[in-house]
Structure 1
């Protein structure tokens, strides 16, 4: 299933994409794409509903982030061997974990703000893992039982804020609009192998990133299990698993985003995003 949220920011409704690519309204079935709706029982309930019986959503509404009411956005740094190489970093021996604050979350086609004082705004196409049921001290063997599905995320980053301003990475990762998520959550039953997905990102029509989840250093079960040793993962939590090579920081010389630039990005089977860079709003 392809589950989504549509409508004005902060007032999104739940939806599902039917076999013809038409959005159907799920409001009569679930309140939102969040919480227990993402559990095996919740997804089974949606799967038992015939999309053709649901109201058609007319036009092309704004798509919001495909998951609502989450508690955490967790991210894994330097998790692609070829990306680590381009940045000159030694591949990590265990996952590098940082957070992206919830205010960063936005729809897949919303504008991305360039923060005041930003000189190094960067792009990162990433595979996002959506947690479906509570996970604490889970094994790698059981980790996928706690995953609802997958989505595209752009881990937008301000590199100077991230690396030159001391402290941890969070302040370079958490500006408003730094977390476009969607267009939809693809349930795991429709993703044959999350470790064999092509991914790409263009800036102004020029290819910048080309990669494949096959070069992940730490795969999805490992990451879910690892995180669950340090914190309880809750339904709706998002794990952004890292980016392949081609980020602006890794170019020689580095190339960064400016107001008016357009990013388009996607992952095989998970859909595409499009964002325009704008000046930060108060």
Structure 2
């Protein structure tokens, strides 16, 4: 069963959101923007499914070729990323430590991401641009100290992320990776939001990253060290989650840094992140102008 796909876009100098259909984009922001200005407010109102139902038989307002994809949730309050969340990732770090008791977390800023079909930008400060394919959960119902048993009820939608990283800059200091994770437009989120309906959409799905068609990362969510339930429970212990918050849930082994010698992304490369039932996030690479 295919789920509705909600896109945030820019077109002709303005931004909006809509439903992707077989014939193009149904412009939901033109119909509902005064009430819900962006997909963040749509998520907060809990009306993704309602809008999809209302729009599914409407004619497209314009073609995909007319839009530029933007990250699905503009200006979320929080983008929280989980590090080292698949088996073998610990071994990649060669520190010999057992799997940790709690997830490693870091924050990214919205401007460190770009949309589907846009280039990831390699900055002049470093050639070490790397890929990390991940699944994104978007919070629909906020909360604090959310029990694991109820955690999935707080998810509104799913998306994908290429959590692009400047590798040498994550090693600039002893304890933090913030610098290497936040260069402008080094990562991507998209292509769209898929409404979350039930746990089968997350429980055991394949997550794969390809560079120029070559599979570099491939694993299944059932093998995650920290489950989606645990991640939401843990994060909400110390901060209140609010609708529209974005949680990037961790990447499988196989990033470019782990090759010998490392293989960094370069202009002309094509990176695809794919997950069952969610879609394919596609980006090229370009140097910062």
- Fold in common (TM above 0.5): yes
**Residue 92 of structure 2 corresponds to residue 86 of structure 1:** yes
Counterpart of 1:2 in structure 2 is 5
Partner of 1:105: 113
Match of 2:233 among 215, 225, 230: 225
Equivalents in 2 of 1:173, 1:9: separation in Å? Answer: 31
Report the Cα distance in structure 2 between the residues aligned to 1:32 and 1:42, rounded to whole angstroms: 13
For 1:55-74, what aligned pairs fall within 5 Å after superposition? 55-60=60-65, 61-74=67-80
- Tell me if 1:200 matches 2:208: yes
8 Å contact 2:106–2:177 — kept in the other structure? yes
Alignment of 1:41-190 (within 5 A): 41-53=46-58, 55-60=60-65, 61-89=67-95, 90=97, 91-189=99-197
Report the alpha carbon displacement of residue 101 of structure 1 after superposing the two structures with TM. Answer: 1.5
Alignment correspondent of 1:244:
252
Is the 2:122–2:129 Cα contact (8 Å) retained in structure 1?
Answer: yes
* Residues 43-82 of structure 1 deviation map (CA, whole Å, 9 limit, x = unaligned): 3532441421354322422211111231111000001113
CA deviations on 1:236-276 (whole Å, 9 max, x unpaired) are 11100000011011222222112332212211111112222
Out of 22, 25, 29, the residue aligned to residue 24 of structure 2 is 22
Is the Cα contact below 8 Å between 2:19 and 2:52 reproduced in 1? no
Secondary structure of residue in 2 paired with 1:177 = coil
- Give me the whole-angstrom Cα distance separating, in 1, the residues matched to 2:89 and 2:74: 30
C-alpha separation between the residues in 2 aligned to 1:11 and 1:267? 30
Distance change (3 Å), C-alpha of 1:9 and 1:162: farther
Q: Structure 2: how far apart are the matches of 1:213 and 1:45?
A: 28
Tell me the equivalent position of 1:211: 219
Contact 1:113/1:278, CA 8 A, preserved across alignment? yes
Q: 1:33 to 1:138 in 2, by over 3 A?
A: same
Q: Does 1:12 align with 2:15?
A: yes
What residue in structure 2 maps to residue 264 of structure 1?
Answer: 272
Distance in 1 separating the partners of 2:184 and 2:213: 24
Compare 100-109 and 256-265 and name the one that shifted more: 256-265
Q: Which runs of 5+ in 1 are unaligned?
A: none
- Cα separation, partners in 2 of 1:10 and 1:220, compared to 1, 3 Å: farther
Across the aligned residues of Structure 1 and Structure 2, the Cα RMSD in angstroms comes to 2.1
How many positions carry a matched residue from both structures? Answer: 280
Q: CA deviation at 1:84?
A: 2.4
Provide TM-score, normalisation by structure 1: 0.91
